[in-house]
Amino acid sequence: MDTRTGKLWGDQYPFERNHLQRTMTLIGLGGVFAVTVILLVHAEFTSVLGISLLCAGVVAAFAAVSRHRYVQETRLGFVILRTRGGRFVLGSALAVAAVSVLVALLVLLE
């Protein structure tokens, strides 16, 4: 299989869009989580916002590292795709469920 970049996708690897969408979705979910926690525990806005921004930075850094790994693996012939499973799908669904419970608590308790 030919996996050289530039042939089929220009400078874009097939998983680029997945990475971007994963990162943006997780940052969005993190934002809703942060706002809900701030409102729920009446936390100091600036401190929680600062921590949230730090966490968003960590997520972006993980995305960058993950992208680098995918590039390496793609050059070896999509090895990573043979081992990638559904953990992200199930884990992110659990995270949404947890944030949903927090939002429901916010609506009921406040």
Partner 1 sequence: MADNEVMGFDGDAERGSRSPRGVYDEGREPDPLYTLANERTYLSWLRLAVTLLAAAVAIDRLFLEQPWFGSQILALGLVAIAFGTCGLGVRRWWATERALRRRQPLPGFGAPLLAVMAILLAVAGVTVLVLTPQG
Give least dist CB 53 to partner 1, A: 18
Largest CA distance in the chain: 58
> How far apart are CB 51 and partner 1 at their closest, in Å?
18
| 46 or 97: CB nearest partner 1 | 97
CB of 20 to partner 1, least distance (A): 10
> Which residues bind to partner 1, rule: CB under 8 A?
1, 3, 8, 14-15, 17-18, 21-22, 24-25, 28-29, 31-32, 35-36, 39, 78, 81-90, 92-93, 96-97, 99-100, 103-104, 106-108, 110
**Helix, strand, coil share (%) of the chain residues, nearest 5:** 75, 0, 25
Mapping DSSP to helix (H, G, I), strand (E, B) and coil, where does residue 71 land?
helix
Cα–Cα separations (whole angstroms), residue 41 to 37, 47, 48: 6, 13, 11
